[in-house]
Amino acid sequence: MSDYQEFLNGVVGVVEATSYESMCLWREYHLAREKSWVQDLGGYLPTVGHIDGRPVCLSLHINTVDGHKLLFIEATSQVVDHSMIEEWLKANLPATAFRDDGKYLNKENSMNFHNVFPRGV
Give the pLDDT confidence score for residue 34 in this predicted structure. Answer: 86
* Per-residue pLDDT tens over the stretch 44-94: 999 999 999 999 999 999 999 999 999 999 999 999 999 999 999 999 999
Is this model's pTM higher than 0.75 or not? Answer: yes
- What is the DSSP track for 16-84? E--HHHHHHHHIIIIIIT---EEE-S--B--EEEEETTEEEEEEEEEEEETTEEEEEEEE-SSS--HHH
Give the pLDDT confidence score for residue 17 in this predicted structure. Answer: 97
Q: Is the pLDDT of residue 119 over 80?
A: no
CA gyration radius for the chain? Answer: 14
Mean pLDDT of 30-45: 90
Q: Is the pLDDT of residue 120 over 60?
A: no
Q: Is the pLDDT of residue 31 over 90?
A: no
Q: Give the residue extent of every domain in the chain.
A: 3-111
Mean pLDDT of 26-32: 89
